Amino acid sequence: MEAVIDIKVIKTEKSKLPGTSLENLPFGKVFTDHMLEVEYKDGQWQQPVIKPFGPISMLPTNATLHYGQTIFEGIKAYRTVSGEPYIFRPFDNFHRFNISAARMMMPEIPEELFIEGMRKLVEVDLDWIPNKPDHSLYIRPFMFATDEAIGVRPSSTYSFYILLSPTGPYYSKPCRIYVEEKYTRAAPGGIGFAKSGGNYASSLLAFAEAQAKGFDQVLWTDAFEHKYVQEMGTMNVFFIIGNTAITPNLEGSILEGVTRSTVITLLQEQGLKVEERPLHIDEIIAAHKAGTLKEAFGTGTAATITPIKELNYKGYEMLLDTDKWTISPEVKRRLDAIREGREADVHQWMFPVKG
């Protein structure tokens, strides 16, 4: 993709990379030398600037601090076995970002600004992409309101940023999941489908209570009956029942995950039937009791594919032997092979950073 926008680049005087270990990286705590910034004012986007990573200055009257008008995305860049850098499915994240923007009454980002700004930033900080299995460069585009006044209304000015963070595996082992039946993540007509900060803020109490009980995450259920499973705190969810992969249908209250879409394609290519439909917790319990619940796993950009070794609903433990699984491990193997350039990218998911 040729650059069609003017991006100003201000390089850091001293890189942090020589003093940074890319081994055993915690998620979201190490950031590269540069970030991209673009302001929106007077009804249009201004010139994008790539500059040294650093603080953002704002007044205490910043609209986002009071009313939460903010959205974000999560994307990853990888190195192939030959060392070439690629970004995984950035156009899908671009489209979802603008869906979130429209729902939150924010200006949409032009494609060339989002994609080329990201590509150029990754190119500037290319040496930060770890060259290890299960490691990547996490890309975080985000936008927030910047009006300096208190009042419940859409802002007239915004800032768009992209940050880069080298990272290792999000979850290092299979997860224990608590099926949430008290709190609600999202309801029809709400913002469950948007990647907005408020969705995640409202999930923190349920997550903390689940952790206090010894679980790694929660599996959300519907807002009305607390019986139909939806998604986990950081991932979409899949269940292999018999020879069918089932994942909850979206219907406006579940995030349309890019990894979710990828996994559906790879499962179908493995010959599995995939159903996107309402899934009642009683159906999962019945399958577990009958021995037909073969696998359960989460999917997401940060976590990729995370096995679930236990589901707990009202004290009923559904234990799964992840060592015997064959379906999701094969999906992960193929996904890794595509990202690492060891298998043909027939779906054109990999976007080159160079040229």
Domain that holds residue 26: 8-169
Q: Are residues 141 and 210 in the same domain?
A: no
Can you give the pLDDT at residue 292?
Answer: 98
The last residue of one of the domains, among 141, 169, 197, is 169
Q: Considering 151, 169, 187, which residue would you say is the last residue of a domain? A: 169
82: Cβ–Cβ under 8 A, 6 or more apart, which residues?
A: 341
Give pLDDT, residue 307.
96
pLDDT in tens, the chain (355 residues): 444 689 999 999 999 999 999 888 889 999 999 999 999 999 999 999 999 999 999 999 999 999 999 999 999 999 999 999 999 999 999 999 999 999 999 999 999 999 999 999 999 999 999 988 889 999 999 999 999 999 999 999 999 999 999 998 877 789 999 999 999 999 999 999 999 999 999 999 999 999 999 999 999 999 999 999 999 988 999 999 999 999 999 988 999 999 999 999 999 999 999 999 999 999 999 999 999 999 999 999 987 899 999 999 999 999 999 999 999 999 999 999 999 999 999 999 999 999 6
Torsion from C-alpha of 160, 195, 266, 88, nearest 10 degrees = 10
Q: Which residues pair with 85 in a beta bridge?
A: 79
Residue 352 falls inside a structural domain: no
Specify whether 311 is located in the same domain as 334: yes
Q: Is residue 292 part of a domain?
A: yes
136, 199: one domain = no
151 and 239 within one domain: no
Task: Write down the pTM of the prediction.
Answer: 0.96
User: Is 97 within the bounds of a domain?
Assistant: yes
**Domain total for the chain?**
2
Residues 109 and 131 in one domain: yes
Confirm whether 189 is domain-assigned. yes
Say if residue 319 is in the same domain as residue 188. yes
- pLDDT at res. 134: 85
| 85 and 13 co-located in one domain | yes
Same domain membership, residue 38 and residue 90? yes
pLDDT of 3: 47
Give domain status of residue 3, yes or no: no
Residues 227 and 99 in one domain: no
- 308 & 190 share domain: yes
Domain assignment present for 321: yes
